[in-house]
Structure 1
Amino acid sequence: MKTFDHLSVIGLREWIGLPELGIDRVRAKVDSGAKTSALHASDIVTFYRDGETWVRFKAHTGTRRHPRDVECEARLVSFRRVRSSNGQLQERHVIRTDLVLGDQRWPVDFTLTCRESMRYRVLLGCSAMLDGQLVINPGQRFVQGFPQTDRTLRG
């Protein structure tokens, strides 16, 4: 049997941080069937800064019962056509921001979309898992604990 010594094990659900967006922790659903990761966002507005296109948006990181919104800005990487879980083709804004999972940190592309009807506000796709050298244990959840960002280590 092959072993995966160089890969980190994650569960089907994990706590992640997006420190560049001011998000210390949010629950994410791991989905190896999705290529790109997705972040629940609304009020998306493009603007220009130093000759580059940026987006300003409201990230929704709480639960349906306990909503929490974070005002965010990020450089726009591209637009991507994505087939949503209900089969509809959507054109979405794509940003790249650092993701923290456990004690690891790496850049990940996120599409911005409405995930209001979804239980988890973040979907972690297979591109992020490949870049982070992760392997999924489907029988586990929250294997990595809370993300170790500078802010969470201090407080």
Structure 2
Amino acid sequence: MAFKQLPVVGWRELVDLPELGLTGLAAKIDSGARTSSLHGHVIEEFERDGERYVRFSVDFLDRNVRQICEAVHVDIRGITSSNGETQRRYVIKTPLRIGDVEFRAEISLADRSDMKFPMLIGRSSLRRRYFVDSGHSWLQTPGQKPVQGHKP
């Protein structure tokens, strides 16, 4: 069986969510998580041109910045977090760019304020697009020197 040549991501990368105006987000690559998630606080739901949307804020505490974003609201789902607790979360669909590859991804909005990374990239976003090398970082991050070793 021949493997398709796919780009390789490290265990952490800087990613972009271009339609949300978010660039250079630090993301942890986690093939153990099914769904990608973004640190965001839902402000309101609304409808535009017959489609459901959600407005939410993304806080960058290290820069003292709050970005207000809007995205198509796909669903509210029960998502099991790493501690085994199931939470009801909004799920949005928006373009995600990792390296040179851009695609529409489903991303849950979660309170990740106690996490080191504001974004987590799950296996649904990685599948058939990337190989994961958990021993390196920044393999798809322009301007960052790839780093060997895992230091969470």
Assess same fold via TM > 0.5. yes
Q: How does 1:84-99 map to 2 (within 5 A)?
A: 84-99=81-96
Matches within 5 A, 1:49-128: 49-60=48-59, 62=60, 64-128=61-125
Where do 5+ consecutive residues of structure 2 fail to align?
144-152
Pick closer, same or farther for the CA change 1:142–1:3 going to 2, 3 Å.
Answer: farther
Runs of 4+, deviation exceeding 4 Å: 2-5
SS in 2 for 1:120: coil
**Which residue number in structure 2 is paired with residue 151 of structure 1?**
none
User: SS at the partner of 1:109?
Assistant: strand
CA drift at 1:4: 4.2
Judge conservation of contact 1:79–1:94 (CA < 8 Å) in 2.
yes
- Show the counterpart of 1:39: 38
Distance in 2, Cα, partners of 1:52 & 1:65: 34
Tell me the TM-score normalized by structure 2: 0.87
| Corresponding position of 1:134 | 130
CA distance in 2 between counterparts of 1:55 and 1:121 reads 19
Q: For the Cα contact (< 8 Å) 1:14–1:143, is it kept in 2? A: yes
Q: How many residues align?
A: 143
Q: Which moved more, 1:24-33 or 1:78-87?
A: 78-87
Q: Could you list the runs of 5+ residues in structure 1 that have no partner in the other structure?
A: 148-155
Greater helix share, structure number: 1
| Range with greater deviation from structure 2 (103-112 or 83-92) | 83-92
State the Cα distance separating 1:95 from its structure 2 match: 0.5
C-alpha RMSD of matched pairs (Å): 1.8
Give the SS at the match of 2:140.
coil
Amino acid at match of 2:25: V
Equivalent position SS for 1:128: helix
Assess, with a 3 A threshold, how the Cα gap between structure 1 residues 138 and 3 changes in structure 2: closer, same or farther: farther
SS of residue matched to 1:127: helix
Identity %: 38
1:45, 1:57 within 8 Å by CA — same for their partners in 2? yes
